[in-house]
């Protein structure tokens, strides 16, 4: 029976390496589920792609295990344009995921990981100070961090000391997929500024989706309009008095 670390490259899952070492537990494989936006564009922003490569070298050198990068058969874009085959939405494309039970997580990550880890004991990164997540633990799903008594703070310190601290903790770059519908306004603003080619792709997807981008009912085009007004100094970024309805009001109402 294989003992497998499910690696996300976040501080807690990476720190599992140190906790496993401290506990003297068996570690046979390390698996990471990659998501791809398209056939040629990863879901991770470039700084994260670079970090993963560096981390893999360190892991191979110190623990002697090559991280297995697995992926679903479909990319995010391919699943986005897949049509429902039954029910009320028959013939519609999937479009943007819903917030609860998002298809991107279940179809592109969880199912892929479950298949790869089937029959083994899985190690996951849940810290001792995250009791709200303990319900995910079982005989086949264990947390080395809980068993070793490691807190999230200790995980951060261990990763920093061992050169395995992800850029998501040291820069404004968001962790996770760059097209995620759970992003904050600031994260979307940064994406548009830093990676305009990615933003252009999101606008294209947005035009084709029957579902709005986020749970508040706003589209990517709504955000584009907002950011354009900010660029033109007609709207203050993150103004606490901002209302989405302002985008449809005369521009002189927003001039400052």
Q: pTM to 2 decimals?
A: 0.90
- Whether residue 171 is predicted with pLDDT greater than 80 in this model: the reply is no
Q: Determine the structural domain holding residue 123 and report its residue range.
A: 3-169
Mean pLDDT, range 93-122, rounded to an integer = 91
* Structural domain contains residue 177: no
* Structural domain contains residue 37: yes
In this structure, the answer to whether residues 159 and 218 fall within a common structural domain is no
* Structural domain contains residue 179: no
What three-state secondary structure class fits 143?
Answer: coil
* Structural domain contains residue 180: no
- Whether residue 136 is predicted with pLDDT greater than 50 in this model: the reply is yes
Other Cβ atoms closer than 10 A to 167: 16
Q: What are 29's strand-pairing partners?
A: 4
In this structure, the answer to whether residues 142 and 40 fall within a common structural domain is yes
In this structure, the answer to whether residues 130 and 226 fall within a common structural domain is no
Instruction: Provide the mean pLDDT of the chain.
Output: 92
* Structural domain contains residue 218: yes
pLDDT number for residue 251: 52
* Distance separating alpha carbons of residues 226 and 238, to the nearest angstrom: 10
pLDDT digits (tens, 9 = 90+) for 19-74: 999 999 999 999 999 999 999 999 999 999 999 999 999 999 999 999 999 999 99
- Whether residue 126 is predicted with pLDDT greater than 60 in this model: the reply is yes
- Based on the structure, what is the number of domains in the chain? 2
Mean pLDDT, range 86-107, rounded to an integer = 90
33, 71 Cβ separation under 8 angstroms = yes
Among 117, 140, 169, residue at a domain's last position: 169
Q: What is the CATH number of the domain that holds 40?
A: 3.40.50.620
In this structure, the answer to whether residues 211 and 246 fall within a common structural domain is yes
Which pLDDT band, with edges at 50, 70 and 90, does 256 fall under?
very low
Q: What percent of the chain has pLDDT over 70?
A: 95
Q: Which two tokens stand for residue 44?
A: 């991770």
């Amino acid at each position: 029976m294989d003992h497998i670390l499910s690696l996300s490259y976040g501080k807690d899952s990476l720190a599992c390496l140190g906790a496993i070492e401290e506990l003297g537990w068996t570690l046979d494989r390390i698996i990471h589920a990659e998501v791809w936006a398209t056939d040629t564009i990863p879901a991770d922003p470039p700084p994260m792609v670079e970090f993963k490569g560096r981390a893999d070298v360190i892991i191979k050198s110190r623990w002697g295990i090559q991280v297995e990068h697995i992926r679903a058969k479909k990319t995010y874009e391919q699943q986005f344009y897949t049509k429902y085959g039954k029910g009320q939405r028959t013939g519609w494309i999937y479009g943007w995921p819903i917030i609860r039970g998002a298809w991107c997580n279940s179809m592109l990550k969880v199912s892929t990981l479950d298949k790869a880890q089937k029959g083994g004991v899985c190690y996951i990164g849940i810290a001792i100070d995250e009791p709200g997540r303990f319900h995910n633990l079982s005989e086949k799903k264990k947390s080395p961090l809980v068993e070793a008594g490691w807190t999230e703070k200790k995980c951060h310190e261990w990763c920093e000391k061992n050169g395995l601290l992800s850029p998501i903790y040291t820069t404004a770059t968001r962790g996770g997929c760059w097209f995620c519908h759970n992003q904050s306004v600031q994260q979307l603003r940064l994406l548009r500024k830093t990676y305009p080619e990615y933003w252009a792709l999101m606008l294209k997807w947005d035009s084709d989706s029957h579902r709005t981008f986020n749970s508040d009912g706003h589209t990517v085009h709504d955000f584009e309009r907002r950011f354009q007004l900010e660029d033109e100094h007609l709207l203050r970024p993150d103004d606490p008095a901002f209302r989405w309805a302002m985008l449809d009001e005369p521009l002189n109402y927003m001039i400052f």
